[in-house]
């Protein structure tokens, strides 16, 4: 689906651009919808040289090991950039991207984006900041997998999604807007499904887990204390 400058201007990343630059980028942009469980691309696929932007819904990024075990690298929500190699790398999909619900993905052709950087260098700095934050998160995650106990990794994972995807106040506490199943969490922090269930039982006075992945933080202070070891 074609994108007009008004639609592009509603996205936070582009909202401060001059109308002429918005029109230039919009002319080289496309918006595509995907249904729940539909694959956006498979690991190793050749990607079009574009910026990939998740405008709505949620996306799961996964990789398969040689043994066939699936690892969830990231769960993404609206306003997230993904598939960076399509823009600045070897052009191959680093993982399989699957829609967790109905989503829309915006793509902007690389050459048009580079021209946009020349016209507005702040746009390039903003994008570099996004990639820098991602690298920092990856560094923290790798460090955690190597050095932290499983229960601490779980707490940091929940804190990350509370901060990134947000929470809403419910009578019991703060419920994560992101729904995270045992399977998703286990595959993301390097533990088994059974261990994930056991850890939530250990945290039952601080965290509530409901069927379908609804997670409520009951006691933020207690969770922080446990997370600090």
Domain boundaries, the chain: 5-144, 148-227
Mean pLDDT across the stretch 43-56? 93
Count CA atoms within 13 Å of residue 169 on its CB side. Answer: 0
Q: Flag whether the pTM goes above 0.85.
A: no
Report the CATH number of the 148-227 domain: 1.10.10.10
pLDDT at 137: 65
Encoded tokens for 39: 């694959």
C-alpha gyration radius of the chain: 19
pLDDT at 65: 74
pLDDT at 53: 92
- Residues near 88 by Cβ (< 8 Å), separated by ≥ 6? none
178 against 216, higher pLDDT: 216
Q: What are phi and psi of 87, to 5 degrees?
A: -95, -45
pLDDT (tens digit per residue) in 101-141: 999 999 999 999 889 888 888 787 777 777 766 666 665 65
Check if the beta carbon of residue 172 is closer than 8 Å to that of residue 179: no
70: pLDDT confidence band, cut at 50, 70 and 90? Answer: confident
202: pLDDT confidence band, cut at 50, 70 and 90? Answer: very high
% of the chain exceeding 70 in pLDDT: 92
Mean pLDDT across the stretch 41-58? 93
| pLDDT above 60: residue 144 | no
Mean per-residue pLDDT over the chain, rounded: 86
| Answer CATH for 5-144 from 3.90.260.10, 3.30.2010.10, 3.40.50.920, 2.60.120.10 | 2.60.120.10
pLDDT at 134: 66
| pLDDT above 90: residue 71 | no
| pLDDT above 70: residue 229 | no
pLDDT at 140: 62
Q: What angle do CA 219, 222, 225 make, to 5 degrees?
A: 150
- Residue found under tokens 């052009």: 91
| pLDDT above 90: residue 35 | yes
pLDDT (tens digit per residue) in 3-29: 888 888 888 778 778 888 889 899 999
146: pLDDT confidence band, cut at 50, 70 and 90? Answer: low
Burial of 115 (0-12, 13-18, 19+ CB in 10 A): middle
| pLDDT above 60: residue 198 | yes
Secondary structure (3-state) at 1: coil
pLDDT at 145: 53
């Amino acid at each position: 689906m074609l994108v007009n400058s008004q639609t592009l201007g509603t996205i936070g990343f582009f909202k401060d651009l001059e109308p002429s630059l918005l029109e230039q980028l919009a002319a080289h942009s496309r918006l595509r919808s995907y249904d729940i469980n539909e694959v956006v691309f498979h690991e190793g696929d050749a990607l079009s040289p574009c910026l990939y932007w998740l405008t709505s819904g949620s996306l799961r990024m996964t990789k398969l090991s040689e043994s066939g075990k699936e690892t969830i690298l990231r769960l993404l929500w609206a306003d997230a950039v993904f598939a960076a190699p399509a823009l600045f790398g070897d052009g191959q999909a680093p993982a399989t991207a699957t829609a967790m619900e109905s989503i829309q993905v915006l793509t902007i052709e690389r050459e048009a984006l580079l021209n946009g950087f020349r016209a507005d260098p702040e746009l390039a700095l903003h994008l570099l900041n996004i990639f820098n934050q991602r690298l920092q998160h990856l560094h923290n995650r790798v460090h955690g997998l190597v050095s932290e106990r499983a229960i601490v990794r779980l707490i940091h994972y929940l804190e990350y999604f509370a901060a990134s995807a947000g929470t809403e106040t419910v009578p019991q506490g703060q419920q994560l807007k992101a729904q995270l199943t045992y399977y998703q969490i286990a595959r993301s922090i390097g533990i088994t499904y059974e261990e994930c269930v056991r850890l939530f039982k250990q945290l039952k006075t601080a965290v509530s887990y409901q069927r379908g992945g609804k997670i409520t933080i009951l006691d933020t202070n207690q969770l922080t204390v446990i997370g600090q070891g």
